[in-house]
């Protein structure tokens, strides 16, 4: 997911997206530990998406503060 797409979302949608990504990351790590994960690079991808979401959330918080 691109940051430009994330900036178009509302604050509540971003928080929901962050929660969904956290749940997905948990599931991927669990599958990795049990040996059921086919593509371990998915963990890296989800972590980067989560970082993008958190960055956009922080930017929106800063805009509200000003």
Contacting residues for 42 by C-beta, under 8 A, at least 6 apart: 28
Residue 61: the pLDDT is 94
Residue 2 has pLDDT above 90, yes or no: no
Cα 28 off chain centre by: 13
pLDDT of residue 43: 96
10-54 residue pLDDT tens = 999 999 999 999 999 999 999 999 999 999 999 999 999 999 999
Q: Could you confirm whether domain 3-65 is CATH 1.10.287.310?
A: yes
Say what the pLDDT of residue 66 is: 81
């Amino acid at each position: 997911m691109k940051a430009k797409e994330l900036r178009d979302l509302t604050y509540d949608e971003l928080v929901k997206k962050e929660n969904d990504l956290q749940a997905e990351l948990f599931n991927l790590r669990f599958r990795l530990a049990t040996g059921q994960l086919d593509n371990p690079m998915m963990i890296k991808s989800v972590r980067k998406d989560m970082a993008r979401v958190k960055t956009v959330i922080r930017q929106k918080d800063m805009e509200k503060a000003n």
